[in-house]
Chain A
Amino acid sequence: MQSRLIFKVLGFLIIIFSVSMLPPLLIGWYDSDGTLQVFMQSWGVLLVLGVVMWFPNRSKSADLRIRDGFLIVVLFWLVLALSGALPFILAEHPDMSIVDAVFESMSGLTTTGATVLTGLDQLPRSILYYRQQLQWLGGMGIIVLAVAIAPVLGVGGMQLFRAETPGPMKNNKLTPRITETAKALWLIYFGLTVLCAVLYFAAGMNLFDAIGHSFSTLAIGGFSTHDASIAYFNSALIDSIVMLFMLVAGVNFSLHYLAIHRRSLRHYISDSEVKAYLLILSALSVITISLLIRDDIFPDISSTIRYGLFQVISIATTTGFTTSSFSYWPGLLPVLLIIGSFVGGCAGSTAGGMKVIRVELLLRQGRREIDRLLHPNAVLPIKLNKRPVPDSVINAVWGFFALYVISFVSLGLLMMMSGSDIVTAFSATAACLNNLGPGLGEVADNYRSVSDSGKWILSFAMLLGRLELFSLLVVLTPAFWKR
């Protein structure tokens, strides 16, 4: 472990993050709602912390090794979640305990969207904006952002980049230089956010809501500036724009890059992951809508389709916006949607869950075993986009799946130990591990009623999900710390 180098990079990342206190600071100053002080202090603390870590080690330069990369990513996310909680702790309104503040900040950064706050509509705008911005930064990943604007990280940048981007095949760079790849991703992310905000504004949101919601839509986060979430606006037009951008943000950003680079949309259709993604969403929608019609939940067909479709996309992509309380829908629907969130979005998107491509590979693997029973001598490679997938990737996917199930079960049991009932415990674990947000039972609307220990467990689950298990778990193994 090259601790001085780790401190240098970590300090540098914290300095970059400290800049994110400035926009809410300006809003606080403009509104003069007493939060100026809060963000001033938070900014100061972060800046000092960053400089203290970076300055003494600034001249240290060496290539990051694999271990350093993992440690930096995990430490950075921990530091981020803790320091991101500062404004919540310091602010008088909302008055939050430390555990609540950390939970809220972690939920923001990991784009989960679970909240312990109620009465959002009465909160200062600077705090509301800050929550939305946390999600936006966490969506594409603040380390990816740092790699984009700081080419100094070099080859080490690739280490960090990989630990933060989701998906089983992380070697697919868009451009030769990792900095350029990161830059391209953030530019697309930024561009889509601007487009989304403009459309929201045009569809009737005020400027503040439009920007805030575009942040949490593209990040597939789910924070809203209103208690009623998207239902507050009660507009079919806004609903459909939200749906569109949730769909777009759930697609691999490499495909968006190719679309812009080659000026064609063809590869969206030919990409097997996108096909599977759309197929899963359509199947869920058909089931959901027909069951809603059968049980007569909504007065007419068009509103059934509107609310049903919205909830399917929002939950299955792990966004977590709500226009209707799906947890009170009848029968299997709430559970079905939560299970849908395990699949999540595509690799390389801002969505959570296990990712469509992994599920697709697992299914094809299962299918292959059946085929093998029929043709014992057949050579049956597993293909994606007409290319065989290397065995190493398939093995990694199986390992991931096993760990995901184990994590889900053990965290759920721990939640029960901390005092939650079975539905709440497991749905909350699923909602946090998948970076979804709303759960069932007591956590259908917010996480206020969860015990303190439960909130710590769920915070851990959110980070586990965001870093896709391995990056975080590897640091927790004894072998990692052996020389």
Chain B
Amino acid sequence: MKIIILGAGQVGTSITEILSREAGGDITLVDIDEARLSLLQNRFDIRTVHGHASHPDVLREAGCDDAELILAVTNSDETNIVACRTADFLFNTPKKIARLRSTQYFTEDTDFIKEGLGIDHIISPEQIVTTELLRLIERPGALQVLDFAGGRIQLVAIKAYDDGPLVGHHLRELKDHLSNIETRVVAIYRQGEAIMPDGETVIEVNDEVFFIAATEHIRAVMSEMRKLDKPVHAIMLAGAGNIGFRLAEALEQKNYTVKLIEQDPERAEEVSKHLKRTIVLVGDSADEELLKMENIDRMDVFCAITNDDEANILSAMLAKQLGARRVMSIVNRTAYADLIERTMIDIAYSPKQATIGSVLPKFRTGALEAVHSLRLGTAEAIEAIALDDKSSKVVGRRIEEIPLPKGTIIGAILRNDDVIIPHHDTVILDKDHVILFVQEKKHINEVVGLFQVSAFFI
């Protein structure tokens, strides 16, 4: 499939990296930064075009005439819109995906986006990041929370502590502890190494446990791995950027007490106009006095979300030091995320992974609902729809008969709105939403291939 990606920023580069390694993803990358393009061209098997992403001649040079998809992810909403409109009008490009940051565009009805702006799909990384952060704040103790089947099923990563009732016991005892709750532990990471769990596996302290369950059961399962924290009331956010602002807005609606620190007085004033109950503070989030004065030791959650990785990490560490119960930090660089695991920061959240997870399904077959990266992108969780077809390798088969690659587990199935935690003899039916955990990313194509109805890409 011929794909044009506009904008070689973080999202554009990450998508390029993933798709260019797959067969069939012929990528042309457009950007105004020539040095960056030549760097990327040396790293990936792609073509690059230097120029303004929304100009017709640049799009023409990039091969828009016969491209099947354009992904506009420059850092300007307006450039993205004009590029999609241009591709729509001049080149009739079949599929146009754009990133839009400003929520103002979403307020009109859907025809406006599709007909008016010429965009088929909008991706809004800030929106995704905000919801994921919100889930993490609301699920104390979880390292990662991912939604599947429209929120009916969740996959949660949690660290096991010695106060959890199941810790030190065999996994099969989970059934005795929670008699009427079904869950599936899909992976355990012990000191960074993956373990394939079975009934005999004993959960140890500090294990990272990944499990899948119906959303309403998540809390009960989590409480088996560690004593749950008290519910969250007070939250302090550092950084009033797009994400900080949205997060504060969402949190105050849910009646949390929110404090938002912003360094730039103008920005602080601007967000304070739109927020109702949040206390907006002007100052440095790494200022010890300010944090103390605002009762950092009484905060249930401290969340550092500026766009500066280093500042986030340091202010989160400081907050923890000063007594904040749980601290979170946004970290964009993968290398940092790895380092942080050994510090006192409770959760390092990578917005990059979340964004990619939301975009990737749009490039893959229609049978794929969601793709989420886990463990810094080494593992993936996917939601695929089993469609009946003569050639289907899954429908009508028992799970033990499906040739799944090593390390791949079917964690849950959504069938007519019922969440089923499958066993080896469960038969997959037509239109089942199947949630799989793929331990090694290299197997992802193989897994997707199982669900592919015919060999078309998209």
Q: Which residues of A contact B (CB under 8 A)?
A: 154-155, 157-158, 171, 173-178, 180, 390
Contact A175 B34 (CB under 8 A): no
Contact A177 B26 (CB under 8 A): yes
Provide the B30-68 mask, 1 if CB < 8 A to any CB of A, else 0: 000010001001111111100000000000000000000
Contact B47 A173 (CB under 8 A): yes
A157 to chain B: which residues have CB within 8 Å? Answer: 45
| Bound-complex Cα distance A277 to B44 (A) | 33
Contact B45 A175 (CB under 8 A): no
| Bound-complex Cα distance A174 to B62 (A) | 10
| Bound-complex Cα distance A154 to B2 (A) | 17
- Residue among B27, B28, B44, B47 making CB contact with A155, cutoff 8 Å: B44
A171 to chain B: which residues have CB within 8 Å? Answer: 38, 41, 48
Q: Quote the shortest CB–CB distance from A459 to chain B (angstroms).
A: 32
Q: Quote the shortest CB–CB distance from A461 to chain B (angstroms).
A: 30
- Residue among B2, B34, B43 making CB contact with A176, cutoff 8 Å: B2
Q: Considering only CB atoms, which chain A residue lies closest to B28 in the complex? A: A176
Contact A178 B45 (CB under 8 A): yes
B44 to chain A: which residues have CB within 8 Å? Answer: 155
| Bound-complex Cα distance A157 to B46 (A) | 12
Q: Given A171-B48, A390-B34, does the pair A176, B41 have CB atoms closer than 8 Å?
A: no
Q: Quote the shortest CB–CB distance from B3 to chain A (angstroms).
A: 8
Q: Quote the shortest CB–CB distance from A430 to chain B (angstroms).
A: 33
Q: Quote the shortest CB–CB distance from B44 to chain A (angstroms).
A: 6
Contact B43 A155 (CB under 8 A): yes
B45 to chain A: which residues have CB within 8 Å? Answer: 154-155, 157-158, 176-178
Q: Considering only CB atoms, which chain A residue lies closest to B48 in the complex? A: A171
Q: Considering only CB atoms, which chain A residue lies closest to B26 in the complex? A: A176
| Bound-complex Cα distance A177 to B43 (A) | 13
Q: Which 9 pairs show the lowest CB-CB distances between chains A and B?
A: A176-B26, A176-B47, A173-B47, A155-B45, A176-B27, A176-B28, A176-B46, A177-B26, A178-B45
Q: Given A155-B43, A390-B34, does the pair A175, B48 have CB atoms closer than 8 Å?
A: no
| Other 7 A-B pairs with CB < 8 A, given A173-B47, A176-B47, A180-B26 | A155-B45, A158-B41, A171-B48, A174-B47, A176-B2, A176-B28, A177-B26
Q: List 16 A-B contacts (CB under 8 A).
A: A155-B43, A155-B44, A155-B45, A157-B45, A158-B41, A158-B42, A158-B45, A173-B41, A173-B48, A174-B47, A176-B2, A176-B26, A176-B47, A177-B45, A178-B45, A180-B26
Q: Quote the shortest CB–CB distance from A184 to chain B (angstroms).
A: 12
B26 to chain A: which residues have CB within 8 Å? Answer: 175-177, 180
A175 to chain B: which residues have CB within 8 Å? Answer: 26, 47
| Bound-complex Cα distance A408 to B128 (A) | 62
Q: Quote the shortest CB–CB distance from B70 to chain A (angstroms).
A: 13
| Bound-complex Cα distance A68 to B52 (A) | 35
Q: Considering only CB atoms, which chain B residue lies closest to A155 in the complex? A: B45
A180 to chain B: which residues have CB within 8 Å? Answer: 26
Q: Quote the shortest CB–CB distance from B163 to chain A (angstroms).
A: 46
A174 to chain B: which residues have CB within 8 Å? Answer: 47
Q: Considering only CB atoms, which chain B residue lies closest to A158 in the complex? A: B45
Q: Considering only CB atoms, which chain A residue lies closest to B2 in the complex? A: A176
Q: Quote the shortest CB–CB distance from B158 to chain A (angstroms).
A: 36
Q: Quote the shortest CB–CB distance from A207 to chain B (angstroms).
A: 39
B42 to chain A: which residues have CB within 8 Å? Answer: 158
B43 to chain A: which residues have CB within 8 Å? Answer: 155
| Bound-complex Cα distance A330 to B38 (A) | 49
B34 to chain A: which residues have CB within 8 Å? Answer: 390
Most chain A C-beta atoms within 10 Å of own C-beta, residue among B2, B45, B46? B45
| Bound-complex Cα distance A157 to B26 (A) | 15
Q: Quote the shortest CB–CB distance from B442 to chain A (angstroms).
A: 12
| Bound-complex Cα distance A158 to B47 (A) | 11
B38 to chain A: which residues have CB within 8 Å? Answer: 171
| Bound-complex Cα distance A261 to B34 (A) | 25
Q: Considering only CB atoms, which chain A residue lies closest to B38 in the complex? A: A171
Q: Considering only CB atoms, which chain B residue lies closest to A174 in the complex? A: B47
| Bound-complex Cα distance A178 to B41 (A) | 11
| Bound-complex Cα distance A82 to B44 (A) | 34
A390 to chain B: which residues have CB within 8 Å? Answer: 34
A158 to chain B: which residues have CB within 8 Å? Answer: 41-42, 45
A178 to chain B: which residues have CB within 8 Å? Answer: 45
| Bound-complex Cα distance A180 to B24 (A) | 11
B47 to chain A: which residues have CB within 8 Å? Answer: 173-176
| Bound-complex Cα distance A175 to B20 (A) | 13
A154 to chain B: which residues have CB within 8 Å? Answer: 45
Q: Considering only CB atoms, which chain A residue lies closest to B62 in the complex? A: A176
Q: Quote the shortest CB–CB distance from A165 to chain B (angstroms).
A: 14
| Bound-complex Cα distance A173 to B27 (A) | 11
Q: Quote the shortest CB–CB distance from A267 to chain B (angstroms).
A: 11
| Bound-complex Cα distance A173 to B62 (A) | 11
Q: Quote the shortest CB–CB distance from A427 to chain B (angstroms).
A: 39
Provide the B107-134 mask, 1 if CB < 8 A to any CB of A, else 0: 0000000000000000000000000000
Q: Considering only CB atoms, which chain A residue lies closest to B50 in the complex? A: A387
B2 to chain A: which residues have CB within 8 Å? Answer: 176
| Bound-complex Cα distance A158 to B43 (A) | 10
Q: Considering only CB atoms, which chain B residue lies closest to A154 in the complex? A: B45
Q: Quote the shortest CB–CB distance from A322 to chain B (angstroms).
A: 41
| Bound-complex Cα distance A304 to B117 (A) | 65
| Bound-complex Cα distance A155 to B42 (A) | 8
B46 to chain A: which residues have CB within 8 Å? Answer: 176
Q: Considering only CB atoms, which chain A residue lies closest to B29 in the complex? A: A176
